[in-house]
Structure 1
Amino acid sequence: MDSAIQIIPATLADLPDLLRLEEACFSAPWTRKMLEAELTGNQFAHFLVARETAKTATTDGPIVGSLCFWIVFEEVRLMNLAVAEQMRRRGIAAALVDSALHTGLMQAATRAVLEVRASNQAALALYRRFGFTQVSVRPAYYSNPVEDAVLMEMEPIVIPAGSGRRSAPVNKGGSVPAH
């Protein structure tokens, strides 16, 4: 089966799948109420999902990744990035981040920021490839287990060639090939 990953805006109908992804990916996952608030009650929030699709499919494929990000004035704030374990290292996280940064640029954002667990070497490497730099550490920021948060920023927002964007515009229903 020839499959691809489609990056599209999340909807309330995605809530059960988003909750399952959260619970599978995080030791302290967002709750249903938190996810619903980001999808419906936060004017700054944008929520993307990565769906696996097949060229011959007549229904939506499973959600294999998600990214919640905020655009507040000139700043893109990456809030929560998750990719199903069996789908990691296929460019899905990069495509989601790339889409968020492009969306921010289209809305005149000039800076991007995030926090990440100090032990999450894969995420740190991904963000560094995009050009994020470490600006500080928040000691004991995370719980379950207690761990430091690395604060990273990119200013100005510059999206490197080959960062993950394979079609344009990904955030409007485009797709990237699954590897």
Structure 2
Amino acid sequence: MAADSVIIEPATVDVLDEVLAIEQACFSAPWTRKMLAAELSGNQFAHFLIAKCLDPHSGALVISGYFCYWIVFEELRLMNLAVLAPFRRGGVASKLVCTAIRAGLERGANRAMLEVRASNQEARALYERLGFRQTATRTRYYVKPEEDAVLMELAPLEVSALCGQP
């Protein structure tokens, strides 16, 4: 799958069931329906994107991933990023993050922050390719299983060459 075949669009409450299914498939301690709904419609700082790709089996356009991020004044806060396993390593996650970085820049953000499981090497490598650097560790931040979080930052906020043209 080529990254240019990934369609990114804002999420709406109409896709909550699909987003919840992705959340449950991708995380050992998933957000609840109520938490996701609050981010989709109740948080003034939250932005929610979905990625759509062609399903290789059915040929239908399906939601392959989602991304929740906040823009709070000058900070872009990467909250939750999930891509279904069959669509990983095809540019979906990077396209979602790049879209958020551009939105942050448009709204005056000058840095981006995130936490990621210490064991999630694929995600950490993606963020590093986009220019993020590790700044700290939070001991036992995650549960199910208990694990440290690696804090990463992109400052100043800028669009990586990996993102290509909008």
| TM-score normalised per structure 2 | 0.92
1:8-65 per-residue CA deviation (whole Å, 9 max, x = no partner) reads 00000000000000000000011000000000100000000001259xxxxx821101
CA RMSD of aligned residues (A): 1.7
Q: Which amino acid aligns with 1:26?
A: F
Q: Which amino acid in the other structure matches residue 7 of structure 1?
A: I
Q: Which runs of 4+ in 1 moved over 3 A?
A: none
**Where in structure 2 are the equivalents of 1:1-150 lying within 5 Å?**
4-53=5-54, 61-150=61-150
* Identity over aligned pairs, percent: 55
Structure with bigger RCO (C-alpha 8 Å, 6+ apart): 1
Summarize deviations over 1:115-174 as a string: whole Å, max 9, x none. 00000000000000111111100000000000000000011012221x2345x3xxxxxx
Q: What amino acid is the match of 1:122? A: E
**Does the Cα contact within 8 Å between 1:135 and 1:153 map onto a contact in 2?**
yes
In the alignment, the residues of structure 1 paired with residue 46 and residue 139 of structure 2 have an alpha-carbon distance, to the nearest angstrom, of 26
Would you say the 8 A contact 1:6–1:53 is kept in 2? Answer: no
Letter in 2 for 1:41: G
Gaps of 5+ in 1: 55-59, 169-179
